[in-house]
Amino acid sequence: MPGNSFGTIFRITTWGESHGPAVGVVLDGCPAGLEISVEDIQFELDRRRPGQSKITTQRKEPDTVEILSGIFEGKTLGTPISLMVRNTDAISKSYEDIKDTYRPGHADFTYDAKYGFRDHRGGGRSSNRETVGRVAAAAIAKKILNLNGIHTYGYVKQVGDVVADNIDLDEIEKNIVRCPDSNKVQEMIELIEAVRKEGDSIGGVVEVVSTGLQAGLGTPVFHKVDAELAQGLMSLGGIRGFEVGLGFEATTMKGSQANDVMYTKDSGELRFKTNNAGGLLGGITNGEDLVVRIAIKPTSSISQVQHTVDKSGNPKELRVKGRHDPCLCPRAVPIAEAMVNLVLVDQLLLSRTTRI
Amino acid sequence: MPGNSFGTIFRITTWGESHGPAVGVVLDGCPAGLEISVEDIQFELDRRRPGQSKITTQRKEPDTVEILSGIFEGKTLGTPISLMVRNTDAISKSYEDIKDTYRPGHADFTYDAKYGFRDHRGGGRSSNRETVGRVAAAAIAKKILNLNGIHTYGYVKQVGDVVADNIDLDEIEKNIVRCPDSNKVQEMIELIEAVRKEGDSIGGVVEVVSTGLQAGLGTPVFHKVDAELAQGLMSLGGIRGFEVGLGFEATTMKGSQANDVMYTKDSGELRFKTNNAGGLLGGITNGEDLVVRIAIKPTSSISQVQHTVDKSGNPKELRVKGRHDPCLCPRAVPIAEAMVNLVLVDQLLLSRTTRI
Amino acid sequence: MPGNSFGTIFRITTWGESHGPAVGVVLDGCPAGLEISVEDIQFELDRRRPGQSKITTQRKEPDTVEILSGIFEGKTLGTPISLMVRNTDAISKSYEDIKDTYRPGHADFTYDAKYGFRDHRGGGRSSNRETVGRVAAAAIAKKILNLNGIHTYGYVKQVGDVVADNIDLDEIEKNIVRCPDSNKVQEMIELIEAVRKEGDSIGGVVEVVSTGLQAGLGTPVFHKVDAELAQGLMSLGGIRGFEVGLGFEATTMKGSQANDVMYTKDSGELRFKTNNAGGLLGGITNGEDLVVRIAIKPTSSISQVQHTVDKSGNPKELRVKGRHDPCLCPRAVPIAEAMVNLVLVDQLLLSRTTRI
Amino acid sequence: MPGNSFGTIFRITTWGESHGPAVGVVLDGCPAGLEISVEDIQFELDRRRPGQSKITTQRKEPDTVEILSGIFEGKTLGTPISLMVRNTDAISKSYEDIKDTYRPGHADFTYDAKYGFRDHRGGGRSSNRETVGRVAAAAIAKKILNLNGIHTYGYVKQVGDVVADNIDLDEIEKNIVRCPDSNKVQEMIELIEAVRKEGDSIGGVVEVVSTGLQAGLGTPVFHKVDAELAQGLMSLGGIRGFEVGLGFEATTMKGSQANDVMYTKDSGELRFKTNNAGGLLGGITNGEDLVVRIAIKPTSSISQVQHTVDKSGNPKELRVKGRHDPCLCPRAVPIAEAMVNLVLVDQLLLSRTTRI
């Protein structure tokens, strides 16, 4: 299958270049009869939109979504849902002088190597702008999950070496860095501002948690929940690692420590005393919260002078102009949530076919 | 699609339960005309086979592969290649008394939750034995990659907190722990032996490197090489994390440090001075070595007494008998290599359709 | 996979309801570097457009295509190509009074049965208008095929019981019924006009021929060329049968008559003396012309009074207003060609992965 | 996707060459908890088995199926079901002298053209023997359908120009030609015997009917029931045409004749007075019987002398030895039923995901 589709039953196909006419998504396989409004979708797009605060890129796009098909009189038809966002604030001209220069950390060189040719403006297809389609479709996934009692929350767990220890979900959307620990908000913001002033950028970690999951979701062996989440999240730009539960911390532990012990609740429900596994056993949900993390590299576009080459191999000095996030983490939160929701809704629908 | 297939062009479907009649794989989409022998496949199966040394499980299966279709007069026909390994040493009886008990860290509970029913013997489908099919098919992938100058090597990078610093590829297969650093071999083996004597187990890290890759492999946006590798590797049992290049280390770095600088070789070839990205930009190979790592949890099956519950919720004390690897890492090496090779050969074939 | 995608490498996903905001297609997997213009696509859309003559529906839609992504500076990028056509002449009001009435021969009842709900205006998703996306994407397929010396021609072989005997390709686009036999044009037109005056409609047969095909295209066993063509063509509205080569005529023949005899041309090329098989053996092209036919039922919408029921089961008398083709065949020609081209280009790209 | 898989949820992958070690199938996505025995599967294989009567090939294979995975204690596990049949009566030697000769009507030439190489023994992969896997998997599909009140019957509708008019389902399995019309049985058998004596073969038509289908099955637009059936049935060897409902007969009809009129039964159920559409509207079941037909060409292998060429282009006289069915129809009945059942069970499972 070509590369721009994701999901088995609830299947998205995203399209669009950063500075082309528009970006969008076709969602096929959404069940019929779901109440959904353009506002439901716009709400999530607004959360990922650039220009929201002093620590995100100042590119100002209203990112207004248009529903082109699949929704009629406020309800999904069961037919493909086509969603489009026009690109309006694309200043293509600022890219003209670096047309043939390979920006460090970007996919300019590899797109040329693969396709022999590329839309150089703002990264073209390799731009983070591609995620508009994912987030728009995931707004619909979210609605279905919520109806099933499943809720997904993402937050910035770490910026550089500043780590959020206390997770307070109510805190997340109150601060511009989407940090769940009120004691670390200021520190994170200051670090981001400091690197921006240096013309530099900084990496970090986003954690996503889903609650309310019944035990039994996931499709062994290649479509285990963690395998699908890893694919979905690693397919985002700038991600260098993925963890579930204890993640790499488990590598230094013993089995007697890492195994989660089961017990029976008074209600008779079987549960786990700890959640080292992050909510999955054998790639199938076990009824505990799903917990995943992604490692986000520092933004490649920085305003410091960098050395590189152009298409013909000539050395170049490059100072990336444009407007870029000094830290990708805050805006990565709604995008990471989107990917988790897309995986979960697909597994939820698939689970209807599991038993005779 | 159901869960047991992987790959787009070079596509495998694995099947089989740990203690059922057999395990196997059907490989569809392998190009015609490849010379391959049963020995080529058996060689890789022997590398993953249990019972190879004192630090692996003593389960003794010859794991003899039978070619059932797709290969004629020593060459692939272009038709599906069906490979089967009979299960011969499956001592099912030892599982009878824990038939209804949920083993900590295993998928017993979640398989019941999903399917309402399971083959309890040795984990059934959730057993690591499922990887026999992956390794067998990947032996064919490896042959194609080698013909194209691409070579993949895996090794144990870390056991518990013992880390291999010096990577000497020649060292790997010389020691039973598959450690590439001769200075750390003894330390790793001692640690594994020590936890085994405690009736416990230990985690670790396996790193896989592929060399000889041309720039331009990978299919954005959802089938980027790192996304596919993440899916493939996280779909193995007992994996808790995935990294490419610097991985989580990148989260504390600045863009000016993390970006790999390009330069022009005397030969005119465009290359990178560092390889922080692990060989990928925008999910497409950039001509540098591909470098990935997986976090392996400590083996769930340990001989210490553990507390758990049975199917009806009754508390149980469990001492897992059977024979289990105290550390999954050494045997995970050929399996991880297999997954990397399966992803790469698929992208290699897909790349033939990229340009007009 | 959900139902709105077709193709393996060259893969289309169509979307849109007849009277929704727009209809369109996303084409993923088109090779990079193909020169294509908006005119190339518009040309094919104009061929399928309604209102072209007195024997087609008078619905007047300019059907202007907009390229939203995937094409840059006149060439395909290798990224998804998103094409959209706004619905402009959709007179939704005329459907208001039959909102709950099940039109005979239409999918109104079955869409309600499946989805519990539908867009009743003009058939919604089940409208022939869905084929706009297919035709637009196939214009790109056609360009690739032409570059490879492959050309596809469709024509109306039969209207009611009037059969075209003499096939003159130059004649096809010269007459409004797209009949290749100048001796039958007038007869076909008169038959169509006659049934229209009766407030009725008539069926027919469209034949499609592809020339210039090399031997060796097709992917056994489920993606044989004839299997894929059958799926693609039967997925159009109003099709009741599919034939390749001799089709049903072969059922009364003997093997000694039906087998095509091979011979060696002076050039050394192996060819067939007859083409009873229609260009395929074992679902793979044999170097002869590909010849397929589809049986097209009479248009369901007729202006005669018909008896039916509404959603609640009440009997209704229905006289379909709107504007409808009295015979689907002439406009089915470019659509049938489109499906053939979509199948062939996919197989052409897949054939690059067949051999080592 | 490579060519050897079929189905979305209930997905089969067949493998095996006619004279290789075995043929088989992996069925992925079968729901867990279905009671199934090896006898259920063997029963259907016995129905397709050669050597059943004087009018079928005398190749004698017991075709004993072995269940290799996915079934435990008599019930499906929800994991892949691997089924294998060893090839035992394969007389490969009889093919040695025609190793390089292209048999008329067979895929010998096209397999060479595609793959550059083939297993010449008995047609290798292009042999009808491939359908063993389809029939074995479909036995499981049939069981699920029966549990849901859906029953599928196939029969020989026509041999040469002898047509069965009276359809008596009880008659079908009582005669060796699987004709449902007791008045035509003898005539069909005599025709087949006559052509066999001439060293020739004859074509025919198989019709398949499914009863008990609820309205609402089918996945527009590319996975309509008729589109899937057409793909599945045309992917069988020797099929030249496909029809649903009236089929090609509809091409000479008027809309006022062809449209099926709806009415309300006393029970309140909405039904159709006629079934010209063959049980589908817009590719979705409408509650009436599903009726499809396939055109089967005369067997290509005949014992008369035929002219052809070899691989090097030299003219050859060929008298196909081996043992072949003089008419494919009787044995095509269980195979055609199998394909219909595979399509229907897939749509039945998919329909569980249609509504919110």
- C80/C69 Cα distance (integer angstroms): 7
Over residues A146-165, the pLDDT tens digits come to 999 999 999 999 999 999 99
Question: Which stretch of DSSP H or E encloses residue C103?
Answer: none
**Closest Cα in chain C to D307:** C261
Partner-chain contact B262 A298, CB within 8 Å: no
Partner-chain contact D79 B4, CB within 8 Å: yes
Show residues of chain A in contact with D9, CB under 8 Å. Answer: 353
For residue A57, what pLDDT is reported? 67
Contact A169, A304 (CB under 8 A): no
Q: Is the pLDDT of residue D132 over 70?
A: yes
Contact D213, D151 (CB under 8 A): no
> Where are the strands (E) in chain C, listed by range?
5-6, 11-16, 22-28, 65-69, 71-72, 75-76, 81-86, 151-159, 162-163, 204-211, 239-244, 262-264, 270-272, 280-281, 284-285, 290-296, 306-309, 315-318
Contact A3, C27 (CB under 8 A): no
**Tokens linked to B339:** 């997954």
Partner-chain contact C258 D297, CB within 8 Å: yes
- The mean per-residue pLDDT over the stretch B281-302 comes to 97
For residue A59, what pLDDT is reported? 61
Residue type, D301: S
Show residues of chain D in contact with C260, CB under 8 Å. Answer: 104-105
Confidence of residue D2 (pLDDT cuts 50, 70, 90): confident
- A274/A288 Cα distance (integer angstroms): 9
Partner-chain contact D14 B80, CB within 8 Å: yes
Neighbours of chain A (3+ CB pairs under 8 A): B, C, D
Q: Mutating which of B106, B234, B257, B271 best tests the A interface, going by the most A Cβ atoms within 10 A? A: B234
Contact B299, B328 (CB under 8 A): yes
Show residues of chain C in contact with B144, CB under 8 Å. Answer: 356
Q: Mutating which of D11, D12, D13, D64 best tests the B interface, going by the most B Cβ atoms within 10 A? A: D13
The whole-chain average pLDDT of chain B stands at 95
Q: Which of A226-230, C88-92, D1-5 has the lowest mean pLDDT?
A: C88-92
Percent of chain C with pLDDT over 90: 90
Show residues of chain A in contact with B239, CB under 8 Å. Answer: 226
Partner-chain contact C72 A116, CB within 8 Å: no
Show residues of chain C in contact with A4, CB under 8 Å. Answer: 26, 28, 79-80
Q: Mutating which of B67, B69, B129 best tests the D interface, going by the most D Cβ atoms within 10 A? A: B69
Residues of C with CB under 8 A from a CB of B: 1, 9, 29, 31-34, 76, 78-79, 144, 147, 220, 349-350, 352-356
Confidence of residue D156 (pLDDT cuts 50, 70, 90): very high
**Tokens linked to B221:** 């946006």
Partner-chain contact A270 B102, CB within 8 Å: yes
Angle at B249 between CA B245 and CA B251, to 5 degrees: 110
Confidence of residue C98 (pLDDT cuts 50, 70, 90): confident
Output phi, psi for A157, to 5 deg.
-85, -30
Show residues of chain A in contact with D31, CB under 8 Å. Answer: 353-356
Nearest CB to D32; choose among A31, A76, A354: A354
Neighbour-count burial of B256, counting CB atoms closer than 10 A to its CB (0-12 exposed, 13-18 middle, 19+ buried) = middle
Nearest CB to C352; choose among B76, B78, B353: B353
**Closest Cα in chain C to D299:** C255
Partner-chain contact B299 A201, CB within 8 Å: no
Nearest CB to D353; choose among A9, A76, A147: A9
Query: Of the candidates C268, C270, C240, C272, which has an alpha carbon nearest to the alpha carbon of residue C258?
Result: C272
**Closest Cα in chain B to C145:** B356
Partner-chain contact D227 C220, CB within 8 Å: no
Q: Is the pLDDT of residue D90 over 60?
A: no
- The mean per-residue pLDDT over the stretch C249-261 comes to 97
For residue B90, what pLDDT is reported? 57
Residues of C with CB under 8 A from a CB of A: 1-5, 8-9, 11, 13-17, 20-24, 26, 28-29, 32-33, 66-70, 72, 75, 77-82, 84, 114-119, 124-125
Residues B56/B58/B59/B65 CA torsion (nearest 10 deg)? 60
Show residues of chain C in contact with B353, CB under 8 Å. Answer: 9, 29, 31, 349-350, 352-353
CA C201 to chain centre: 19
The count of other CB atoms within 10 Å of the CB of residue D150 is 22
Q: Mutating which of D11, D64, D79 best tests the B interface, going by the most B Cβ atoms within 10 A? A: D79
Specify the residue for token string 């530099």: A200
Partner-chain contact B224 A215, CB within 8 Å: no
Over residues B201-223, the pLDDT tens digits come to 999 999 999 999 999 999 999 99
Show residues of chain A in contact with D29, CB under 8 Å. Answer: 353
Confidence of residue D59 (pLDDT cuts 50, 70, 90): low
Confidence of residue C50 (pLDDT cuts 50, 70, 90): confident
- B178/B169 Cα distance (integer angstroms): 10
Partner-chain contact B13 D28, CB within 8 Å: yes
- The mean per-residue pLDDT over the stretch B122-127 comes to 94
**Closest Cα in chain A to C5:** A28
Q: Is the pLDDT of residue D55 over 90?
A: no
Q: Which of B43-52, B343-352, C157-166 has the lowest mean pLDDT?
A: B43-52
For residue C49, what pLDDT is reported? 85
Instruction: Categorise residue A38: left if φ over 0, alpha if ψ from -120 to 50, beta otherwise.
Output: alpha
- A111/A100 Cα distance (integer angstroms): 12
Output phi, psi for D112, to 5 deg.
-65, -40
Length in residues, chain A: 356
Partner-chain contact C80 A32, CB within 8 Å: no
Partner-chain contact A17 C84, CB within 8 Å: no
Contact A25, A12 (CB under 8 A): yes
For residue B332, what pLDDT is reported? 97
Partner-chain contact A228 B231, CB within 8 Å: yes
- The mean per-residue pLDDT over the stretch D117-132 comes to 95
C and D: number of Cβ contacts within 8 A? 373
For residue C324, what pLDDT is reported? 83
Nearest CB to D32; choose among A34, A352, A355: A355
Nearest-CA distance from D209 to chain B in Å? 28
Residues of D with CB under 8 A from a CB of A: 1, 9, 29, 31-34, 76, 78-79, 144, 147, 220, 349-350, 352-356
Show residues of chain C in contact with D220, CB under 8 Å. Answer: 3-4, 107, 125-126
Q: For chain D, how big is the Rg over CA atoms in Å?
A: 21
Confidence of residue A60 (pLDDT cuts 50, 70, 90): low
- The mean per-residue pLDDT over the stretch C331-354 comes to 98
- D152/D148 Cα distance (integer angstroms): 12
Partner-chain contact D105 C304, CB within 8 Å: no
Q: Which of B86-90, B137-141, C35-39, D197-201 has the lowest mean pLDDT?
A: B86-90
Q: Is the pLDDT of residue A350 over 80?
A: yes
For residue B58, what pLDDT is reported? 61
Q: Is the pLDDT of residue C54 over 90?
A: no
Confidence of residue B322 (pLDDT cuts 50, 70, 90): low
For residue B324, what pLDDT is reported? 83
Neighbours of chain D (3+ CB pairs under 8 A): A, B, C
Partner-chain contact C26 A15, CB within 8 Å: yes
Cα dihedral sign, B305-B306-B310-B313:
positive
Q: Are strands A65-69 and A280-281 parallel, antiparallel or unpaired?
A: unpaired
Partner-chain contact D31 A356, CB within 8 Å: yes
Q: For chain B, how big is the Rg over CA atoms in Å?
A: 21
Confidence of residue B59 (pLDDT cuts 50, 70, 90): low
Confidence of residue B95 (pLDDT cuts 50, 70, 90): confident
